[in-house]
Amino acid sequence: MQREGATSERVLVVDDESGLQAAHVRILTAAGFEVDACATAEEAIERLRRGNRYAVVVTDLVMPGMSGIDLLEYAHRVDADLPVVILTGRPSLRSTIAAVEHHSFRYLVKPVTPLVLSETVSSAAAKYRLSEVKRRALELCESEGWGVEDGATARNFELSLSQLYLAYQPIVQPSDGRAFGYEALVRSDAVALSKPDELFGAAERLGRVQELGRVIRRLAAQQLDREATLSTLFVNLHASDLMDPELYRAEAPLTLHAPRVVLEITERRSLDGVADLRERLKELRAFGYRIAVDDLGAGYAGLSCFNVLEPEIVKLDMSLVRHVDTSPRKRALVETMVRVCLRDLGIQVVCEGVETTGERDVLIEIGVPLLQGYLFGRPARELCAPQQLELHSEQRLRASATPAAQPLPKLAKSS
């Protein structure tokens, strides 16, 4: 019987026995669920890793390769609240203890009647709905400053931090379509605080921004260890990172790769609270780091801050780039900013957020030497070559004639 008020929540059924898998799919479909199915834990994990969302996972315990307990453990690393129902025809004390330790929702012995299966999954889905509502309520309370305790935020932050990874997006030279470098963007496999703004917001509330920054820099250093031919990696810095002593240690993991790293400092946050900023930047440049101003035109655009940073690179914010091909006002602004940076200040320019060929073509016509955006490649766990997009002959001539589209000079270490 279909549940009253069913909302077609998605359930994932995992079982290597095709007959049982089909039977469970029929039972749960009749109960009003939208059901996906697969035969191995590895396939189920891949679905979760790709971002598929489920209200409940129903899995066999013993399967070729990874077990249902392995799947349960991974699922809770992605989403600590996701209910996982374990089914087994061979119950044992060891598997029962493992299921309890990893917080399975239920541990059912086969054969399971249709009524027991549908009621168990319905109960699990209802409790998951409640957990999602509680999560939204917590976010609302925190955003409104209602004084909610930070216990849940701390737990979510810990979960997100444990599942942190970097995604890499190419920065492209339009003259030849090759990658000038890559920007390392923070991501997390955990559902809670999976967006960078949410993650950094939680870190700020908990006073753990520097801890987060250290993890990011360590992951970036590991990528540079693996990719010896990668010439330039852009790594974002929070304003608080500039006050972290770890950033200035000569033996710090990222410092060992400093000549290959551009540190992006966003204009969206004020640097007024960073003491001795000039001296700190001088010390970073002595290691070989280069400095980029990120989000130019979208934040604290004061001349004094820009003058102190003296960046080697500026990245024009995507809000200026978006629809630059259809907005004469935006085009005039971008053209002026690019001209001043390249010609008058000798600063390299990247336009980020390029999504259409129309935007790309106008930016090439303006003379922008470096471009970044979904048009060339989305952020990915591995370094991927930019998507090759054919240029017309006159566009190719304009792009190749841009003198600033050259590799940045390495900085000599100061004494």
Span 37-79, pLDDT tens digits: 999 999 999 999 888 899 999 999 999 999 999 999 899 888 8
H helix runs in 314-356, sequence order: 318-321, 328-339
295 vs 199 pLDDT, higher one: 199
* pLDDT of amino acid 207: 87
Which neighbouring-strand residues pair with 234? 183, 262
CA dist 336 and 68 (Å) reads 59
CA dist 262 and 224 (Å) reads 13
Instruction: Assess whether pLDDT exceeds 50 at residue 4.
Output: no
Sequence spans of domains, the chain:
10-138, 151-400
| Pairing mode of beta strands 290-296, 178-188 | unpaired
* pLDDT of amino acid 410: 39
What's the pLDDT tens digit per position in 243-282?
A: 999 999 999 999 999 999 999 987 656 677 788 888 999 9
Q: Please count the other Cβ atoms lying within 10 Å of the Cβ belonging to residue 85.
A: 24
Mean pLDDT over 323-327 rounds to: 92
Best CA proximity match to 233, nearest among 218, 221, 249: 221
The fold adopted by the segment(s) 10-138 is: Rossmann fold (3.40.50)
Question: What's the predicted TM-score (pTM) here?
Answer: 0.63
121, with CB counted inside 10 A (0-12, 13-18, 19+), is: buried
Q: Can you say whether residue 295 is alpha, beta or left, with left for phi > 0 and alpha for psi between -120 and 50 degrees?
A: left
Instruction: Assess whether pLDDT exceeds 50 at residue 413.
Output: no
Mean pLDDT over 345-360 rounds to: 93
The DSSP element (H or E) to which 301 belongs, if any, is none
Report the range of poorest mean pLDDT among 175-179, 292-296, 319-323, 389-393: 389-393
Instruction: Assess whether pLDDT exceeds 90 at residue 365.
Output: yes
The secondary structure of residue 322, as a DSSP letter, is T
The secondary structure of residue 40, as a DSSP letter, is -
Instruction: Assess whether pLDDT exceeds 90 at residue 113.
Output: yes
Which neighbouring-strand residues pair with 35? 11
Instruction: Assess whether pLDDT exceeds 70 at residue 92.
Output: yes
CA dist 304 and 27 (Å) reads 67
182 vs 310 pLDDT, higher one: 182
**Cβ-contact 223, 184 below 8 angstroms:** yes
- 324 half-sphere exposure, CB direction, 13 A CA radius: 30
What's the pLDDT tens digit per position in 135-147?
A: 665 565 555 554 4
What's the pLDDT tens digit per position in 271-299?
A: 777 888 889 999 999 999 999 988 776 55
The secondary structure of residue 388, as a DSSP letter, is P
**Cβ-contact 148, 156 below 8 angstroms:** no
* pLDDT of amino acid 143: 57
143 vs 163 pLDDT, higher one: 163
What's the pLDDT tens digit per position in 10-35?
A: 999 999 999 999 999 999 999 999 99
CA 276 to chain centre: 31
**What Rg value do the Cα atoms of the chain yield, rounded?**
26
CA 210 to each of CA 162, 175, 216, 243: distance values in angstroms, whole numbers, following the listed order? 15, 38, 10, 8
- Helix, strand or coil for residue 202? helix
Q: Please count the other Cβ atoms lying within 10 Å of the Cβ belonging to residue 11.
A: 24
The pair of three-digit structure tokens given for residue 42, joined into one six-digit string = 């590895």
- At 308, the amino acid letter reads V
Mean pLDDT over 197-201 rounds to: 87
- Helix, strand or coil for residue 118? helix
CATH superfamily of 151-400: EAL domain (3.20.20.450)
Q: Where are the beta strands (DSSP E) in 332-378?
A: 348-351, 370-372
CA dist 216 and 222 (Å) reads 10
* pLDDT of amino acid 3: 45
